[in-house]
Amino acid sequence: MQLKILLMMLQFKSNHISKGTHMKRIELQEFQNSINYSEPFEIIKDGSVVGTFKPVQGISKRKVSSLFKENTKYYIPNYQRGYRWTSKEVKDLIDDVWQWRNINNGNEYCLQPLVLNKMGDSVSVIDGQQRLTTLLIISKALHTLNNDNKVANYTITYQTRQDSEAFLNALEDKTIEEAQHNIDFMHMYNAYQTAINIFRNCEEMKNQWMDVLTDETTGCFFIAYYIDLVGDKRLETEIFTNVNAGKIPLTDSELIKALLLKSSNFENDNSNVRQRQNIHQLQFEISNEWDRMESALQENNFWSFLGNDPTFSTRMDLILDLARYKIKDFNKLGQNDLFISYQNYIDKSIEPIHFVVSRIWMNIKEVFMQLEDWFNDSNKYHLLGYILNVSQKSVTENLEKYITESYHDFKLDIIELVFNEKRNRSQRIEIDFKQVISDQQYENKPKIREILLLFNVILSIQANQKNNNDDFIYKFPFNIFRSTNWDIEHIYPASNPEELSKAVKKKIELLIDEYEEALFNQDFNRNSNFIDKINALNYKKENNNSEMWLNNIGNLTLLNESSNRAIGNMPFILKRKCVLKDENEGRFMPLDTKNTFSKYYSKTLGDIYKWTESDTNNREEKIIEAFNNFFYEVTV
Predicted pLDDT at 253: 86
Considering only residues 482 and 156, tell me which one the structure prediction assigns the higher pLDDT. 156
Statement: residue 16 has pLDDT above 50? no
Residue 557 lies inside a defined structural domain of this protein: yes
Residue 495's pLDDT is 58
- My answer on whether 338 and 230 are in the same domain is no
Do residues 239 and 188 both lie within one domain?
yes
258 falls within a domain: yes
Q: What is the pLDDT of residue 170?
A: 94
pLDDT averaged over every residue in the chain: 78
Counting every residue written for the chain, the total comes to 636
pLDDT, mean of residues 42-69: 69
Same domain? For 39 and 74 the reply is no
Please give the angle made by the CA atoms of 252, 254 and 255, to the nearest 5 degrees.
65
**Do 35 and 99 reside in the same domain of the chain?**
no
Predicted confidence (pLDDT) per residue in 540-584, tens digit: 443 444 567 888 999 999 988 777 666 666 778 777 877 877 777
Residues 242, 300 share a domain: no
398 domain-assigned: no
CA 561 to chain centre: 26
Sign of CA dihedral 356, 360, 361, 365: positive
Please give the residue that has the higher pLDDT: either 352 or 131. 131
**35, 176: one domain:** no
Q: Where are the alpha helices (DSSP H) in 33-124?
A: 64-69, 87-103
Indicate if 214 and 309 belong to the same structural domain: no
Task: Tell how strand 109-119 and strand 122-127 pair up.
Answer: antiparallel
Tens of pLDDT, residue by residue over 23-44, are 677 665 565 444 455 566 666 6
- Please, which pLDDT band fits residue 69 given cuts at 50, 70 and 90? very high
Please tell me the distance from the alpha carbon of residue 50 to that of residue 102, in angstroms, as a whole number. 40
d(CA 143, CA 613): 69
Statement: residue 336 has pLDDT above 70: no
Query: For residue 67, what pLDDT band results from cuts at 50, 70 and 90?
Result: very high
Whole-angstrom distance, CA of residue 574 vs CA of residue 562: 15
Residue 421 lies in a domain: no
* Percent of the chain's residues with pLDDT above 70: 71
| More confident call, 159 vs 493 | 159
* The pLDDT of residue 9 is above 50: no
Q: Which of 241-250, 323-332, 369-378 has the highest mean pLDDT?
A: 369-378
Residue 524: per-residue pLDDT: 47
Determine, yes or no, domain membership for 427: no
Q: In a 10 Å sphere around its CB, with 0-12 CB exposed, 13-18 middle and 19+ buried, how is residue 488 labelled?
A: middle
Amino acid at 14: S
Q: Find which of 260-274, 421-435, 457-471, 560-574 is predicted with most confidence, using mean pLDDT.
A: 421-435
| 220 and 83 part of one domain | yes
On whether both 93 and 128 belong to a single domain, the answer is yes
Query: What local confidence, expressed as pLDDT, does residue 623 receive?
Result: 95
CA of 46: how far to CAs of 33, 222, 234, 375, in Å? 17, 29, 20, 54
pLDDT at 556: 92
Residue 309 has pLDDT above 90, yes or no: no
Task: Count Cβ atoms below 10 Å from residue 442 Cβ, excluding itself.
Answer: 15
Within a domain: 417? no
Check whether residue 214 and residue 275 sit in a common domain.
no
Q: Note down the domain range covering 101.
A: 59-248
User: Among 18-27, 42-51, 209-218, 512-521, where is mean pLDDT lowest?
Assistant: 18-27
Which pLDDT band holds residue 251 (cuts at 50, 70, 90)?
confident
Q: In total, how many domains does the chain have?
A: 4
Q: What is the pLDDT of residue 406?
A: 56
The pLDDT of residue 185 is 92
CB atoms within 10 A of CB 590: 25
632 pLDDT above the threshold of 80: yes
Q: Which of 248, 279, 311 is the last residue of a domain?
A: 248
CA distance 342 to 391: 29
463-478: pLDDT as tens digits = 887 665 556 678 898 8
- 187-205 mean pLDDT: 95
Helix, strand or coil, per DSSP, at residue 142: helix
Boundary-marking domain end, from 38, 53, 68: 53
Grade residue 493 by pLDDT with cuts at 50, 70 and 90.
confident
% of residues, the chain, pLDDT over 90: 27
Check if the beta carbon of residue 76 is closer than 8 Å to that of residue 157.
yes
Let me know if residue 426 belongs to a domain. no
CA distances (Å), origin 141, targets 29, 194, 211, 235: 43, 9, 15, 36
Tens of pLDDT, residue by residue over 94-147, are: 999 999 888 888 888 888 778 888 888 889 888 889 999 999 999 999 999 988
Query: Do 335 and 193 reside in the same domain of the chain?
Result: no
> Does 124 lie in the same domain as 98?
yes
| Residue 223 to residue 31: CA distance in whole angstroms | 17
Provide φ and ψ at 271, rounded to 5°.
-85, 160
**332 within a domain of the structure (yes/no):** yes
